[in-house]
Structure 1
Amino acid sequence: MSSSATDDPSWVRRTDVRLGPDPTRVVSTLFLPGQELLASGESRSAGVLARVLGLTDGEVDAELDALARAFAPRHRDLDASWDAHFALMRHRLTDAADLTPHRRRLIGAYFTQEFAVEGAALFNPTLVPHPDQRGVAAGATRFVMTVRAVGEGHVSSMGLRTGVIDAHDDLTFDPPPSVGVLPATLASPYSREAFQHRLDDLGSHLTNADFVLDALPPTFDRNDLDRALDVLRAQRLTRGAAERTIARLEWIADCTYQVEYPSDSAIGERVLLPHGASESHGVEDVRMVRFTAPDGEQEYLASYTAFDGREVSMQLLRTSDFTRFTATPLSGPGARNKGLALFPRQVGDRYLALSRADRETNSVTTSSDLLHWEEPVVVQRPAHPWELVQLGNCGSPIETASGWVVLTHGVGPMRTYCIGALLLDLDDPTRVRGRLARPLLTPAADERSGYVPNVVYSCGAMLHGRTLVLPYGCSDSTIRIALADLDALIEELHT
């Protein structure tokens, strides 16, 4: 165990596990050499293409061989990335069909770059049981940990790690992935009701929106949407704000997506980069939970903060196997701002979530469909010195016989983040049954320095027997794991 000295309770123990960012872990993404126009009126891409077309066949072959030797070991199927990026540039070439396969691939390489997904930081984890527990020793649990990885431009993505915690609470992480694997984008079904809720939040022209949505079935695809938008577009002269409504609907569609990873990739290799317009600058702080439906079916649900460089919004991520994921925008007053965290099951006939819609208190919000969240009910306000700036949650509630254990974060003087806890009633989670007067985790001396100093923060813990396994980020830079005795925590929550 770590010897980091703090004033934390004796029933909380830090492990020696520490995960840091690996700048050698890269993925290949599209590279456009400047979007600016030159004096001639031609983009830089056109100039690059002209110069590559001027190479001899021998120069093309030699350059491609050198690139493969230097870069292929850092990627899975780099040739496929080069080919895909050539396909995106093909429309700029009048004689693309006459090019040799090697020249096409080299053109693709000139429009490809490496992105170090965790080149800057690795933090704010969530821990959940792995969907496959086959072969695990008695008393042990295989787990999946989501991580927030930050790369160039402070762009955040979701990474994954896997490992096992044994019957003695010893953690072993699987070897870190040597490559990053990106998913393929699939056609995504859309929900008319979800579109309507999001339009209400955005304040769109309702007459035009209703005109489009009324022409669509409850579930529709992109072709259905395009046909309905074409009808509105044809009437734009007689329908005010039609272009604005079209832009809003296309924006919502862009934020609704489905991706799938290669079946032969390991979970730990998979990286979810920003996809939709709402998250162009980051997929941030994934709060994942294994959700059990009333019929016993289980899936993994996660909320995350989508950041477009100026504004934040909440998205829902769903998967059953960590291979295929769907993402959908959330709406309603309960989904404002950051930090929505879903309960692991329904209470009554409603979905529940923790909310921090007002940015400083902990609240509970409800939903009938997981997408639209009602006005939240405040359950905790700042009261103690270490949390007087603001409160928030540290992931989904954990169900116990004594109630819902909620890990919280509190911000105090010098913008210091600590982790606390709250106990909510099982049947009525708006009723508080206990709260910690002191933090259960504060930044240790060797955790205080980082991109954002003096922070310990988690996006979700996992219950293992009677031990709360708490992964947490240290000053927005690295990840550590702490273990808390559940019975001692509940006893203190009741005092």
Structure 2
Amino acid sequence: MRVTHRIEPDPSRLVARPFIPGNSGPNETDRRLDHLVDRVLAMPPELRRQTLERLRQRHGTRYADLEEAWARHLEIARQVTDRVPADLDEEEAALLGAYLTLGYAYEGAALTNPSIVPFGPEADGRQPFVMSARAIGEGHISSITFITGAVDGDGRVELDPRSPFVSNGVRTALVASRERLRRKLAELGYLDEPAERIVSALPDDYSPEDIDVAYRVLHEADTDPVGLEIAYHRVHWVASSNYEVEFDPGRPVSEHLLSPSAPMESQGMEDARFVRFVDDDGTVTYYGTYTAFDGSRILPQLIETNDFHRFRISTMTGPAAHHKGIAIFPRRIDGDLVAISRHDHVNCYVMRSDDARSWSNAELAFGPEQEWELFNVGNCGSPIETPEGWLVITHGVGPMRRYALGAVLLDLDEPAKVIGRLREPLIESAPDEEFGYVPDVVYSCGSMLHGDHLVIPYGYADRGIRVAVTRLDDVLAAMA
């Protein structure tokens, strides 16, 4: 085992986010946005120019799209209040937008829990890759960030320099399936009579605007307006989980940041597990799964991308898709998409699907056995295909909530059948990795195989990332 590279969180990497004060309430003093607009526009022109110049000097080099962000956040404010004049000059608009913007250190607290996938053609034995990571910022809010690099034929890992800039891309709502929405509401216990009436009023493929129209029409004649309003907000909460994010394809992947942009993930997008999936016809899709968290509830989410510039995000449904840690196999088995997950919080299950979104059954594969994993065992990313079987890197939780990584080998044709397993941990916390945001933890969300070299990036103590490289043959030989 060779451990290389230490990637620490960089608090200087910032993303510009909206900072819109409240503007509703029974009292005039509650209209904070209106009063802010008035104060900014009352500034003398010379003071506005000086303030704007200082802002550009201090903050202009920290962001790739600062003034575009100011403009976006000003437009958000226009949707909240009519106090913003339509005829603002360039300086007034820029300065007001700056007051409505904050800099967010999205990895200021931690950078951890990476996954890795090959991305791009191999050349001279050198395979490029994309590594995703969980970035944790102020308020313990998680985003998904990306690091690029390559591994050569000798298993040496090179990381590309990280750009100082990052952006959130452009988000658009997706047209989604009414029946999938109905199923997810039922799974969550939200499909009561008012919710069913809203869903039934939607077209087969609906947009968020269709939900608004259905609610307004039903509200006019409804005898239970409170119940209908509760149902409306629940339907919107679930429906908002389907969207697309597009980034400038001319910018490096390391500048792309997937940040919470829907109510159901307002407190974080956690532990993305990416896989390079090759379908039976040779089509390549990069699937990622993550856990959306709103502070009290979780939803398993699916990411689809072909190029790491455009991402389609949708909710996973079905009785087997209700917990954290779903990882999709890199190809179909017997015509089915297959995934591994910790379906019952303790053991690992294999489940199947037609379309990667709906998972309706789960078959027990393995559970805790050794003393270092007796609390529970889960996957550390998608299984890796080898001639001997599907290699699953696992994490086990032992006494004092100490995490360690292990490995299990599953049958190629019957993936719920265990044919090999490490009895001792593959990776444990080194002395210099034990202490951090969460002590005594090592964790990974995905590894990759290049030749005989197994590349395992892992997070330690929820503080930073290291990269381990070992030979596949050594891992398989150590299995019982």
Please say whether Structure 1 and Structure 2 have the same fold, judged by a TM-score greater than 0.5: yes
Q: Is the 8 A contact 2:173 2:240 kept in 1?
A: no
The structure 2 residue matched to 1:124, chosen from 82, 99, 113, is 113
After TM superposition, give the deviation of residue 84 of structure 1 in Å: 1.5
After TM superposition, give the deviation of residue 402 of structure 1 in Å: 1.0
Measured in 1, the distance between the counterparts of 2:223 and 2:24 equals 33
Alignment of 1:238-277 (within 5 A): 241-277=227-263
Q: Is the 8 A contact 1:390 1:410 kept in 2?
A: yes
Structure 2 equivalent of residue 99 of structure 1: 88
Residue 46 of structure 2 corresponds to residue 75 of structure 1: no
After TM superposition, give the deviation of residue 213 of structure 1 in Å: 4.1
Structure 1 equivalent of residue 2 of structure 2: 13
Measured in 1, the distance between the counterparts of 2:224 and 2:141 equals 42
Unmatched runs of 5 consecutive residues or more in structure 2: none
Q: What amino acid sits opposite 2:96 in the alignment? A: I
After TM superposition, give the deviation of residue 367 of structure 1 in Å: 1.7
Of 220-229 and 463-472, deviating more is 220-229
CA RMSD of aligned residues (A): 2.0
Measured in 2, the distance between the counterparts of 1:273 and 1:416 equals 29
Measured in 1, the distance between the counterparts of 2:443 and 2:342 equals 15
Q: Is the 8 A contact 2:182 2:191 kept in 1?
A: no
Of 201-210 and 478-487, deviating more is 201-210
Measured in 1, the distance between the counterparts of 2:306 and 2:254 equals 16
Measured in 1, the distance between the counterparts of 2:73 and 2:304 equals 28
Count residues with an aligned counterpart: 479
Residue 310 of structure 2 corresponds to residue 310 of structure 1: no
Residue 16 of structure 2 corresponds to residue 28 of structure 1: yes
Measured in 2, the distance between the counterparts of 1:204 and 1:395 equals 31
Structure 2 equivalent of residue 114 of structure 1: 103
Of 211-220 and 286-295, deviating more is 211-220
Q: Is the 8 A contact 1:236 1:243 kept in 2?
A: no
Q: Is the 8 A contact 1:205 1:241 kept in 2?
A: no
Cα shift readout 1:92-112 (whole Å, capped 9, x = no counterpart): 344602432211210110110
Structure 1 equivalent of residue 30 of structure 2: 42
Alignment of 1:229-244 (within 5 A): 229-237=215-223, 241-244=227-230
Cα shift readout 1:140-178 (whole Å, capped 9, x = no counterpart): 100000010011111110000101111111111111111
Alignment of 1:53-452 (within 5 A): 53-90=41-78, 92-94=81-83, 96-130=85-119, 132-133=120-121, 137-205=123-191, 207-237=193-223, 241-452=227-438
Q: What amino acid sits opposite 2:99 in the alignment? A: Y
Q: What amino acid sits opposite 1:106 in the alignment? A: L
Cα distance change, pair 282–238 in 1 and its aligned pair in 2 (3 A): closer
Unmatched runs of 5 consecutive residues or more in structure 1: 1-11
Of 227-236 and 387-396, deviating more is 227-236
Cα shift readout 1:249-280 (whole Å, capped 9, x = no counterpart): 21122111111011222100111110111110
Q: Is the 8 A contact 1:194 1:371 kept in 2?
A: no
What SS class does the counterpart of residue 79 from structure 1 fall into? Answer: helix
What SS class does the counterpart of residue 473 from structure 1 fall into? Answer: strand
Cα distance change, pair 423–150 in 1 and its aligned pair in 2 (3 A): same
Measured in 2, the distance between the counterparts of 1:67 and 1:463 equals 47
Cα distance change, pair 80–296 in 1 and its aligned pair in 2 (3 A): same
Q: What amino acid sits opposite 2:417 in the alignment? A: R
Measured in 2, the distance between the counterparts of 1:81 and 1:305 equals 27
Q: Is the 8 A contact 2:219 2:225 kept in 1?
A: no
After TM superposition, give the deviation of residue 393 of structure 1 in Å: 0.7
After TM superposition, give the deviation of residue 33 of structure 1 in Å: 4.2
Cα shift readout 1:234-262 (whole Å, capped 9, x = no counterpart): 44327994333322221122111111011
Measured in 1, the distance between the counterparts of 2:350 and 2:11 equals 39
